[in-house]
Chain A
């Protein structure tokens, strides 16, 4: 077991980082916000930490907190104008946000290192810290899911007009979703900086965006299990397909198509839904009363 861990440790660590970014992406989608800003928030958090950790004497844990706060604040600011937009328009506006961040990172060579990025970042993060952080985020997400806010998010996602007619302040909840999404991505961006020694703008480009969307959609957009399953598949896929050498990418493509075609809600969500349906069926068998209410699709 220990030697397994030794040989596969980076995969485990990157899996944990992906889960973190996955929750950032998920909370947005879950609130009905088609944001792909996670890449931009992650870049902000990670550059904030990298610059502070290499150029100033700010204590490491403080740099991570600052990175998180910065990304959350930018998320909140970004949400103000974006609250007017919906769906794909939000997606493109957040894509523009990411592109602006990336090109500024490339441009501000003196400060950000340009294409070379920032090197020589101390490695302060290990598997245990990542595990604790993922656990913490899961706890937060779980609480959000059970709270009134989680129910509002679900309502916004499923039928915004109904939520609005019930007097929900949509803009306010979108801003909250952006802030949470920004904070989580900023936090994990900072952790990533402190794990990979070196960062560059390219790390948060198109590839990152596509990867995070894939993780959340493949894993599941509503349950806690979603990003975990998505990140797990995306982490393991390159490894099991490795013997296929140059056909690997094509095989990954085939697997993505098959999985999403047969489990369109995502692997994690489908698993949770299956258990819920089973539980419900049992309860209904036991007592065919009218007690069970309408919140069948609430979060886990």
Chain B
């Protein structure tokens, strides 16, 4: 059972990673906490659901959903963040304006779905199980692990090896200096928001598919987890977020399996607390990211 539970945890954790990457990316570049990220994630699941039931092939539904959530994220930047950013000192005001966006998106989803819990129709994805070394693994779990691995690798390559990635890091380190060097900060912001949104949208679709549940409030528990992951991993750190996501997934799985029920949350958050005491900047946090970002 132990190895089966670790596998469960890795699958859940890999989807947390997808969700948290966008969140940490926006934080890394903008030093802003985007509270509407959970709603973007939820929107991804919703859009793919409605595309699927109106007859679009599932793969196209996913593509369309990622495109749409990417655009939603850009819209969030334009509506909620842009004006505030220009004034400076946006950390706290941006929190409120993104809560505002969150309320709007959640309210729309609630009305569209009539408060019902939705799920992708049976057969959207073939249900098939394999026995590997006594482990029970589904085709869907394999596909999810593979997709997340490929996307994460692509994102890291993009950030580290391409011009865009260098621009992103330049803006993240010092926006003014980057602008002086001819980097168009606006375009960097729009691209990071698009990527963050599309990843969150995909995470929403995968979670909706994996756990048969799409619901207007589904973003909230994932926001809570994303906060944990992003901080444990070190704010703005892509690798940190991935490691922390997988750690969280596995810890949760094992806690459910082996610890007294009802105390899981207390233990997980207790551990989180301890990690922070030992490593005040998270597991992979560097002092600069913090000094630059978290105080007004």
Q: Which residues of B67-86 are within 8 A (CB) of A?
A: 79-80, 83-84
Are A249 and B269 interface neighbours, CB within 8 A? no
Are B93 and A250 interface neighbours, CB within 8 A? no
Are B107 and A218 interface neighbours, CB within 8 A? no
Residues on the B chain within 8 Å of A102, using CB: 265
Task: Encode contact with B along A10-32: 1 for CB under 8 Å, 0 otherwise.
Answer: 00000000000000000001001
Residues on the B chain within 8 Å of A89, using CB: 231, 235, 276, 280-282, 285, 290, 294
Q: Which residues of A78-103 are within 8 A (CB) of B?
A: 81, 84-89, 91-93, 95-97, 99-100, 102-103
Are B84 and A103 interface neighbours, CB within 8 A? no
Are B84 and A264 interface neighbours, CB within 8 A? yes
Closest to B260 in A: A107
Are A264 and B272 interface neighbours, CB within 8 A? no
B175 within 8 A of A: no
Closest to A106 in B: B262
Cβ-defined partner of B269 (8 Å) among A29, A100, A218: A100
Measured CA separation A213–B263 after assembly (Å): 27
Residues on the B chain within 8 Å of A106, using CB: 262
Interface residue stretch chosen among A62-70, A176-184, A255-263, A272-280: A255-263
B106 within 8 A of A: yes
A174 within 8 A of B: no
B104 within 8 A of A: yes
A246 within 8 A of B: yes
Are A87 and B95 interface neighbours, CB within 8 A? no
Residues on the B chain within 8 Å of A107, using CB: 262-263, 266
Cβ-defined partner of A214 (8 Å) among B79, B84, B99, B111: B99
Cβ of B31 to closest chain A Cβ, rounded Å: 9
Residues on the B chain within 8 Å of A247, using CB: 107, 111
Residues on the B chain within 8 Å of A157, using CB: 295-296
A252 within 8 A of B: yes
Measured CA separation A160–B295 after assembly (Å): 9
Cβ-defined partner of B227 (8 Å) among A95, A100, A210: A95
Cβ of A186 to closest chain B Cβ, rounded Å: 20
Are B228 and A253 interface neighbours, CB within 8 A? no
Residues on the A chain within 8 Å of B84, using CB: 260-261, 264
Residues on the A chain within 8 Å of B296, using CB: 157-158
Residues on the B chain within 8 Å of A85, using CB: 276, 280
Cβ-defined partner of B108 (8 Å) among A95, A250, A255, A265: A250
Q: Which 7 A-B pairs have the closest CB atoms?
A: A87-B294, A253-B103, A256-B100, A103-B265, A253-B104, A257-B100, A249-B107
- Can you name 22 A-B pairs with beta carbons within 8 Å? A85-B280, A88-B231, A92-B276, A96-B270, A100-B273, A107-B262, A210-B99, A214-B99, A246-B110, A248-B107, A249-B104, A252-B103, A254-B104, A255-B100, A256-B99, A257-B80, A257-B97, A260-B84, A260-B96, A261-B83, A261-B93, A264-B84
14 extra interface residue pairs, beta carbon distance < 8 Å, beyond A103-B262, A264-B87:
A87-B295, A96-B273, A96-B276, A97-B273, A103-B263, A248-B107, A249-B110, A250-B104, A252-B103, A253-B100, A253-B107, A256-B96, A260-B84, A261-B93
